[in-house]
Structure 1
Amino acid sequence: MPEWRKDPLVDRWVVIATERGKRPCDFKVVSDEKKGGRCPMCPGHEKDTPPEVTAFRETGSRPDTPGWWVRVVPNKFPAVRIEAQPGVRRRGVFEVMDGLGAHEVVVETTGHDTGLEFLDERQVEEVIWAWQQRSLDLRKDARFKYIQIFKNFAQTAGASLEHPHSQIVALPMIPPDISEELAGMKRYAQNTGRCLICDLLEQELGEQERIVQESGKFVCIAPYASRFPFEVWIVPREHQHDFGGIRADQVPDLALVLRATLRAIHDSIGRPPYNMVLHTAPVNVADTIHYHWHLEILPRLTVMAGFELGTGYYINPTPPELAAQVLRDQETFCPPPVYQQTEREVTHYV
């Protein structure tokens, strides 16, 4: 029997089509064709990008030259621009403002074809450090109210370049989805005196039906009201509202769980297109302590059609309990490639 399930964070219902029960083999994953040609993100092509704003590179190497292992540059074709001015203007019933924001690209590795799931865990840690450092730096601009970190993998999921990368966009407003989650968590805290996601994790760990991966500091779950087949969330065990506050002792655990989860998805489904989005507390605003940050990984195995677009509800043909079982039972061990770590130097450019 199909079920309507309500997301406990927001006022959204999802149809879990239990009778369909689609497994990995039921989805046809079409690999994107390699485009070839000159890649602006590969070592030796640094002049093909805007000047780097941050780089983790070998001691003594110069900006915008080889010698880096993680590199952050402004997006060459930004969706928003930092030089724009804030302020909403009215045009009759319409409101408009300049395209204020910041748009950066995190080049995650020098390897052109090496996804996060195949990187050494130390390299994944470095990517996480780059996300955090750019988040902390961008929020110094009081005009920004939210820092969105995300990754599009494969053309179907919106990636225009093959080289492994993620993106960071600073926004002058709080996205509606985050506002809705923040309101839901605040309402729950006012009613119970507890954190909604902390309670959710306690229940999930007790039931063990939707647990995918665990470490000492993070848990990966297939959410109860999953919108998409094999959707998973990685959540810190302790209450932490702001990803920018992640500690040094948490980063290795997050890298381990993130890499293992992506590898399980790869081994189960065949490296599907996916979007990865970090949901964290807004910045430069008050009263966000009730939020609990989390990382969402959303494989693109189905297409939103008329029902979803017309109602805002989702139909998920793979129950999260089945998705968790499939991902949990996969053999995900693989000897990582050798990663030669040189003296760590972080270089910032203004």
Structure 2
Amino acid sequence: MPEWRKDPLVKRWVVIATERGKRPTDYRVPRDEKKGGRCPLCPGHEGDTPPEVLAFRHGGTAPDTPGWWIRVVPNKFPAVRPEAQAGVRRHGVYEVMDGLGAHEVVVESPGHIANLDAVDERQLEEVIWAWQHRSLELRRDPRLKYIQIFKNFGQTAGASLEHTHSQILATPMVPVDVEEEMEGFKNYARSVGRCILCDVVAQEVSERQRVVLETGAFVSFAPYASRFPFETWIVPREHQHDFAMIREDQVRDLARVLRSTLLRLRRVLNNPPFNMVLHTAPVNEPDTAGYHWHLEIMPRLTIMAGFELGTGFYINPTPPELAAQVLREEEAYLPPPAYAGAEREAVRYV
């Protein structure tokens, strides 16, 4: 029997089509065509991008030259720009403002590889440190209210470059989805006196029906009201509202859980396109301590159609219990990475 399930955080209803029960082999995963040609993100091509705003590089190497293992540059074709002016203007019934914000690309490896699961855990730790460093830097502009870290993998998911990279887009307003989550956290805390996501993690770990893997600091699980087949969240066990507060021990654990989760998804679903978003508390805003940051990984296996677009409800043909079981049972052995980070010096920042 199909079920309507309600997301406890944002009160969104989802149809879990249990009678369809699609397994990994039931999905036709689109294959990307290799583009070839010159890659602007590879070492030696630094002149193809705007000047770097952050690099983790070896001593004695100059900015915008080879010798880096992580590089962050402004997007060459930004959706928003930091030089734009703040302030909303009225135009009749409409409101408009200049395209203020920041849009950056995090080059996650000097090796020309496609995805984060192909790097070793130490390199993945460096990616997480770069996310944190830029998050702390961008919030110094008081006009910015939210910093969205995200990754698109595969053409279907919106990736335009093959070389593994993520993006950071800072905005002068808090996204509606995050505002809804903020309200959900506040309502639950007023009613129960606790964090809803802390309670979700506790219940998932207790029931173990939707858990993919867990460590001392993080839990990876398929959410109860999953919108998409094989949707997976990674949530810190400790209540932490701001991703930028992450500690060194958590970075190590997150790198391990994230790589293992991505590898399981790749092997189970034959390297699917996906979107990964990091939801964290707004910046330069009061009253955000009740938020609980988390990573959401959403494979692109189905297409949103008229029902979803017309109602905002989702139909998920793979119950999260089935998705978690398949991912959990996938061989835990992690193959050697395609790219193993070189020895690094203690000082990362240029």
Aligned residue in 2 for 1:183: 183
TM-score normalised to structure 2 length: 0.98
**DSSP 3-state at the match of 2:206:** helix
Moved more, 332-341 or 68-77: 332-341
Distance 2:119 2:163 in 1: 13
Preserved contact between residue 152 and residue 158 of structure 1 (Cα < 8 Å): yes
Aligned residue in 2 for 1:236: 236
TM-score normalised to structure 1 length: 0.98
Distance 1:215 1:182 in 2: 26
- For residue 344 of structure 2, the aligned residue among 321, 342, 347 is 342
> What is the deviation of 1:172?
0.2
Aligned residue in 2 for 1:150: 150
**DSSP 3-state at the match of 1:250:** helix
> What is the deviation of 1:114?
4.4
Aligned residue in 2 for 1:59: 59
**DSSP 3-state at the match of 2:295:** strand
Distance 1:60 1:92 in 2: 57
Preserved contact between residue 56 and residue 344 of structure 1 (Cα < 8 Å): no
Aligned residue in 1 for 2:120: 120
Aligned residue in 2 for 1:160: 160
**DSSP 3-state at the match of 1:124:** helix
**DSSP 3-state at the match of 2:248:** coil
Aligned residue in 1 for 2:30: 30
The AA in structure 2 aligned to 1:181 is E
Aligned residue in 1 for 2:225: 225
Distance 1:133 1:341 in 2: 20
Q: Deviations over 1:23-65 (max 9, x none)?
A: 0000011210010010000010000000000000111111000
Aligned residue in 2 for 1:78: 78
> What is the deviation of 1:257?
0.2
Aligned residue in 2 for 1:325: 325
Q: Deviations over 1:154-196 (max 9, x none)?
A: 1100011111000001100000000000000011011111110
- CA-based RMSD of the aligned residues comes to 0.8
Aligned residue in 2 for 1:93: 93
The AA in structure 1 aligned to 2:336 is P
**DSSP 3-state at the match of 1:339:** coil
The AA in structure 1 aligned to 2:348 is V
Distance 2:247 2:160 in 1: 32
**DSSP 3-state at the match of 2:249:** coil
Distance 2:11 2:27 in 1: 29
Unaligned runs of 5+ in 1: none
> What is the deviation of 1:332?
3.8
Moved more, 332-341 or 229-238: 332-341
Distance 2:51 2:345 in 1: 23
Preserved contact between residue 243 and residue 293 of structure 1 (Cα < 8 Å): yes
> What is the deviation of 1:7?
0.2
> What is the deviation of 1:345?
3.0
Matches within 5 A, 1:296-307: 296-307=296-307
> What is the deviation of 1:336?
2.9
Preserved contact between residue 69 and residue 341 of structure 2 (Cα < 8 Å): no
**DSSP 3-state at the match of 1:326:** helix
**DSSP 3-state at the match of 1:173:** coil
Aligned residue in 1 for 2:44: 44
The AA in structure 1 aligned to 2:267 is D
Matches within 5 A, 1:184-333: 184-333=184-333
Preserved contact between residue 30 and residue 156 of structure 2 (Cα < 8 Å): no
Distance 2:13 2:210 in 1: 18
Unaligned runs of 5+ in 2: none
Preserved contact between residue 59 and residue 344 of structure 1 (Cα < 8 Å): no
Distance 1:85 1:30 in 2: 41
Distance 1:192 1:11 in 2: 16
Q: Deviations over 1:283-342 (max 9, x none)?
A: 000001110000000000000000000111000000000000000000142123443223
Preserved contact between residue 54 and residue 346 of structure 1 (Cα < 8 Å): no
Q: Deviations over 1:119-164 (max 9, x none)?
A: 1000000000000000000000000000000000011000111110
**DSSP 3-state at the match of 2:298:** strand
Preserved contact between residue 57 and residue 344 of structure 1 (Cα < 8 Å): no
Distance 2:175 2:346 in 1: 35
Matches within 5 A, 1:1-12: 1-12=1-12
The AA in structure 1 aligned to 2:343 is Q
